[in-house]
Amino acid sequence: MAKQEQFISKIISSYQPKGDFIYLGAGLLNGEIIAAAEVNLALKMMNRHGLIAGATGTGKTRTLQLVAEQLSEAAVPVFMLDVKGDLSGLYEAGETNPALEERGEALGRPFKPADFPTELYSLTGKLGASMRVRLADFGAILLGRILDLNDTQTGVLSVLFKYAEDQSLAIITFEDLKKLLNHLTSEEGAQEIKDNYGKINTATSTTILRKIVALEQQGVGHIFGDPAFDIQDLFRMQEGKGVISLLNISDIQNQPLVFSAFLLSLLVQLFEQLPEVGDLEKPKLIFFFDEAHLLFNGASKAFLGRIEQVVRLIRSKGVGIFFCTQAATDIPDTVLGQLGNRIQHALRAFTPNDAEALRKTARTYPKSDFYTIEQVLTNLGTGQALVTVLNDKGVPTEVVATHLIPPRANMGPLDQATYDRLVQQSTIFAKYKEPINTSGAAAILAGKSKEEKIVEEVPKSTKKTSSTRQTPMEAMAKSASRTLGREGVKFLSKLGTAIIASLVGKKPKK
């Protein structure tokens, strides 16, 4: 009993922030739920980023949902990646059942169904409001990532973007980029870029063009264009609650490089466009990055460097990022070290690699007087997790095995009719529905090429006009003019001779 009292005391002192917080659940000790040992996450510390990890089927998605629900209630907007399309149920209140009632009673918090304002987005435009980005905002590093380019090829992309910026050529779509690449590998363009930026190898440009065409054929080229998504739409409120924005990628799950790079491009825009705000009482936005391992797998050094920069600096803009994946080892150390809030669901050790990942994960947690970390990680049940977060002073809390509170919204996808109605009624859907043909580099270069062609053709047309065959009347008039001209010359010559002769007293010769 003394140990239980000591446990409660430590958990309360670690997880009792002064300001607003997210209630995660209650501590577990020797398999027993200790309702008094409440586990809370301070809102003001959520911009210190976090990790939600665990094996498949351990409840990670529902943890995402319960945290998103409470953030929305606290007037904090949320952005989430909906990989399988099963988070749309946040729009509807859940239905009670004996299991949920039992869990609520064990935590001392009766289950109360609730719904939350939800906005549905899609990269294809088929499952929600279209999310587009201009290629210029996407940038060379991220584009090189989704095109699977090597460092040299990505460097050429950087040159293209730099040239376009210097020449005030907007790169909005793939068509703009292809036109620019063709222009700079032409005889005239190649000399121009060689003099100022360096030579572009023909083989490299051909490879880039081929990979762009391949990506277009996969049906995702239209994510680049206008109207580009306005990041301010992520900060919307509805009836005092933060709107939960869901990006449904269930129709492009087989293109992980595309959607993971797109998410990073949103973070980059947030980082570059939002003002510095310092430490707030609660974040302006929480960004959940599901399937985070896809972001890092095979990433180039430049790409990883971009991620590290954004994660390190974006917290001062009031934005928190939570990476969601199977194991902490999926995240590079330089990024993992910046994730102060950890919710780790169960890990399984079925293979030697699993066992190694388990040992590495356990070593990332502080030592505990109440648990053997490796043992707890393999024994956690569904809806339970090992938790350590930052308290409101920025100090890591006591590690605690936690029985998590269940979500209150529907824990499944909306039925198709409700889903379609939610999409069609959205003002955001109408805002981004139709693409706009903005005059980018392709239009400007096409106009320039047309002008050059006209200039080249003018001398040819002039020459052709001067050599046009004459009509019979024109020929007769011209012949008469020549004849009259000759006779006129003869007459003037004789007249001049007569005048001179009279002046000198000589008769002119006949």
pLDDT band (50, 70, 90) for residue 459 = low
The answer to whether position 46 is within a domain reads: yes
Is residue 74 within 8 A of residue 43, CB to CB? The reply is yes
Do 328 and 386 sit in the same domain of this protein? yes
Do 300 and 415 sit in the same domain of this protein? yes
The answer to whether position 470 is within a domain reads: no
In this prediction, residue 195 carries a pLDDT of 77
Which residues face 41 on adjacent strands? 22
Task: Report how many domains make up the chain.
Answer: 3
Token pair recorded at residue 504: 């000198």
**Averaged pLDDT for residues 184-188:** 81
* Inter-residue long-range contacts of 362-365, CB under 8 Å, 24+ positions, other chains counted: 364/328, 364/336, 365/399
The answer to whether position 94 is within a domain reads: yes
Q: What is the pLDDT of residues 124-172, one digit of tens each?
A: 899 999 999 999 998 899 999 899 899 899 999 998 999 999 988 899 9
Do 256 and 350 sit in the same domain of this protein? yes
**Averaged pLDDT for residues 273-292:** 92
- CA dist 504 and 421 (Å) reads 116
Do 367 and 292 sit in the same domain of this protein? yes
Kindly tell me the number of DSSP H helices and DSSP E strands found in the chain: 18, 14
Do 213 and 285 sit in the same domain of this protein? no
The answer to whether position 471 is within a domain reads: no
- CA dist 366 and 388 (Å) reads 9
Do 151 and 255 sit in the same domain of this protein? no
- CA dist 508 and 505 (Å) reads 9
Contacts of 457 by beta carbon, 8 Å cutoff, 6+ apart: none
In this prediction, residue 207 carries a pLDDT of 93
The answer to whether position 472 is within a domain reads: no
**Averaged pLDDT for residues 260-282:** 92
Does position 284 have pLDDT exceeding 90, yes or no? yes
pLDDT band (50, 70, 90) for residue 465 = very low
Contacts of 34 by beta carbon, 8 Å cutoff, 6+ apart: 4, 7, 8, 11, 26, 27, 28
Do 255 and 390 sit in the same domain of this protein? yes
In the chain, the N- to C-terminal Cα span, in Å, equals 155
Full-model pTM? 0.84
Output the CA torsion sign for 433, 437, 439, 445: positive
Do 160 and 24 sit in the same domain of this protein? no
Token pair recorded at residue 173: 């779509």
What separation in angstroms does the CA of 164 have from each of 141, 171, 198? 16, 7, 14
Most confident of 285-299, 322-336, 403-417, 494-508: 403-417
The answer to whether position 467 is within a domain reads: no
pLDDT band (50, 70, 90) for residue 404 = very high
- CA dist 300 and 155 (Å) reads 12
Alpha helices in 364-440 (DSSP H): 373-379, 416-424, 427-432
**Averaged pLDDT for residues 165-194:** 86
In this prediction, residue 451 carries a pLDDT of 56
In this prediction, residue 467 carries a pLDDT of 41
Mean pLDDT, rounded, of the chain? 86
In this prediction, residue 350 carries a pLDDT of 82
Is residue 128 within 8 A of residue 121, CB to CB? The reply is yes
- CA dist 238 and 422 (Å) reads 15
- CA dist 172 and 411 (Å) reads 39
Stronger pLDDT, 299 or 124, i.e. the higher one: 124
- CA dist 40 and 461 (Å) reads 82
**Averaged pLDDT for residues 486-495:** 50
- CA dist 192 and 190 (Å) reads 5
**Averaged pLDDT for residues 316-330:** 92
Does position 27 have pLDDT exceeding 90, yes or no? yes
Do 124 and 25 sit in the same domain of this protein? yes
In this prediction, residue 268 carries a pLDDT of 92
In this prediction, residue 416 carries a pLDDT of 95
Q: What is the pLDDT of residues 219-254, one digit of tens each?
A: 778 899 999 999 999 999 999 999 999 999 998 888
In this prediction, residue 489 carries a pLDDT of 45
pLDDT band (50, 70, 90) for residue 477 = very low
Does position 340 have pLDDT exceeding 60, yes or no? yes
In this prediction, residue 492 carries a pLDDT of 44
What is the extent of the structural domain holding 56?
A: 2-132+226-432
**Residues 376/382/388/389 CA torsion (nearest 10 deg):** 180
Contacts of 11 by beta carbon, 8 Å cutoff, 6+ apart: 27, 34, 37, 38, 39, 398, 400
The answer to whether position 17 is within a domain reads: yes
What separation in angstroms does the CA of 463 have from each of 243, 457, 460, 469, 470? 69, 10, 5, 12, 15
| Burial state string for 331-355 with b = 16 or more CB within 10 A and e = fewer than 16 | beeebbebbbbbbbbbbbbeeeebe
- CA dist 15 and 33 (Å) reads 16
Do 154 and 274 sit in the same domain of this protein? no
In this prediction, residue 222 carries a pLDDT of 84
Which residues face 287 on adjacent strands? 79, 321
Rg (CA), the chain: 36
Lowest average pLDDT, out of 25-29, 214-218, 246-250, 425-429, goes to: 214-218
In this prediction, residue 34 carries a pLDDT of 95
- CA dist 432 and 157 (Å) reads 28
On the 0-12 / 13-18 / 19+ scale of CB atoms within 10 A, 495 is: exposed
- CA dist 275 and 268 (Å) reads 13
Give the CATH number, domain containing residue 116.
3.40.50.300
The answer to whether position 107 is within a domain reads: yes
| The Cα angle at residue 73 between residues 100 and 280, in degrees rounded to 5 | 130
pLDDT over 70, % of the chain: 87
- CA dist 210 and 202 (Å) reads 12
In this prediction, residue 468 carries a pLDDT of 43
SS3 state at 151: helix
Do 407 and 272 sit in the same domain of this protein? yes
Is residue 278 within 8 A of residue 246, CB to CB? The reply is no
- CA dist 510 and 507 (Å) reads 9
Stronger pLDDT, 276 or 480, i.e. the higher one: 276
Do 386 and 272 sit in the same domain of this protein? yes
Which residues face 403 on adjacent strands? 26, 384
- CA dist 401 and 385 (Å) reads 6
